[in-house]
Amino acid sequence: MVHDPVCGMEIKDTNNAEKIEYKGKAYYFCTPLCKIQFEQDPEKYVKKDDDEHMGHHHH
């Protein structure tokens, strides 16, 4: 299952979704607007994604 990292919406059709490759990982977006937001501050969304999977981090 793929989710838009910006808005969290589920992407059902990745073939027609907006897509970015960032640090070797593909990210899909439900709208061009979400893609633009990601491009402007990718680390904001990438870190949020990592925290969910990795447990807590010490800053």
Concatenated DSSP letters for 5-48?
A: TTT--EES-TTSSEEEEETTEEEEESSHHHHHHHHH-HHHHHHH
Q: Is pTM, for the whole model, over 0.95?
A: no
For 18-47, the pLDDT digits (tens) are: 999 999 999 999 999 999 999 999 999 987
Which whole number is the average pLDDT over 8-16? 95
* Cβ atoms of 19 and 36 closer than 8 Å: no
Measured distance CA(51)–CA(20) in Å, rounded: 20
Which domains, ranges and CATH numbers included, belong to the chain?
2-54 (2.30.170)
